[in-house]
Structures are given as structure tokens and as C-alpha cells.
Structure 1
Amino acid sequence: MTPEWVIHFGQHALYIGMLVAAPLLLTALLVGLLIGILQAATQIHEMTLSFIPKLLAMAAVGLLVGPWMLHTLVQFTHDIIVGLPEAIK
């Protein structure tokens, strides 16, 4: 296992992690921003008003992009397992 391989693996793992997490995080960010603007405009500061829409939006996005996320993680794992014999040399 060369240092270059380890660095490449670490960079690729971080990239895949960010790529997979991005849809859910961006959804939570956008819905939270919209709810925050709505709460500031109406002076209603109820905690469930911000939590429930975020939860529902993230569940919907999770159902929509879940297969892509799973495929990306399975492909990453497959690439690691296939490339492991070369890395051990």
C-alpha cells in the first residue's frame, strides 16, 4: 500500500461522502431557509413548524435520490474491493 494510494483513497472517500450527503443536506438547508423566512415574516416561532416540513422534504428527497445514493456507495465499495489486491502489492 503506497502513500499515494492511501491519499487517493481518502480523497475519493471524502468526495463520495460529500456527493452522497449533498442532496439531503441541501434540502434541509433550503427548506429551513424558506421556513425561517416564513417565520420571520409572520412572527410565528413554533419549533414543529420548522422540524416537520424539513423531515417530510428530506424523506421525499431520500426516496427520490435513494437509489442513486445506494448505487454510488455500492460502486465505491466494489471499486475498493476490486482494487485492493493491487494496493496490497
Structure 2
Amino acid sequence: MTVDDVVDIARATLWLIVKVSAPMLIVSLLVGLIISIFQTITSIHEQTLTFVPKLLSIFLVLVLCGSWIINNLIGYTTELFSNFSLYVK
């Protein structure tokens, strides 16, 4: 296994992490932005107000995108394990 192989595996792994976590991060960012705009408009300065809506929105995204996330993770793991003999050389 060469250094290039390790770099390729690390690059693919990091890209998978970004791709899988992006829906939850984007939804959390949008919900936080909407709630902060609401707090600015209404002059409510409660720090804990964003926690429950973000938690619920991330849970909803996990319910909606969970199968896609699992399929990506399983596909990548299968690809790694099927090419394991190439990596051991």
C-alpha cells in the first residue's frame, strides 16, 4: 500500500463525511438563522430558544435522509472491504 493509496482513502473518507453530514448541518444552520432573525425582531434574547427547534429539525432530517446516509456508509464500507486485498500488498 503506497502513500497515494492512503491519501486517496483519506480523501474519499473525508468527502463521505462531508456529504453525509451536510443535510443535517444545513438544516441546523437555516433553523438557527431563522430563529435568530425572529429573536432580533421580537427582542427576545434567550440563548436556549434555538436548542429544541434545532434538535427537532435534525431529528426530522435523520428520519427523512437516514436511509440515504446508511446506504452511502454501507456502500463505502463494502468498497473498502472488497478492495482490502489490494491494500494489504
Common fold: TM-score over 0.5 = yes
How much does 1:80 deviate?
Answer: 0.4
Structure 2: segments with no counterpart, 5+ residues: none
**C-alpha distance in 2, partners of 1:87/1:2?**
8
1:43 lines up with 2:43 in the alignment: yes
**C-alpha distance in 1, partners of 2:83/2:27?**
34
Give the partner amino acid of 2:16: I
Equivalences for residues 66-81 of structure 1 within 5 A: 66-81=66-81
| Equivalent residue pairs, number | 89
TM-score relative to the length of structure 1: 0.95
CA RMSD in angstroms comes to 0.8
The residue that corresponds to 2:33 in the other structure is 33
Residue 45 of structure 1 aligns to a residue whose secondary structure is coil
**C-alpha distance in 1, partners of 2:59/2:9?**
30
Structure 1: segments with no counterpart, 5+ residues: none
TM-score relative to the length of structure 2: 0.95
The residue that corresponds to 2:86 in the other structure is 86
How much does 1:4 deviate?
Answer: 1.1
How much does 1:53 deviate?
Answer: 0.7
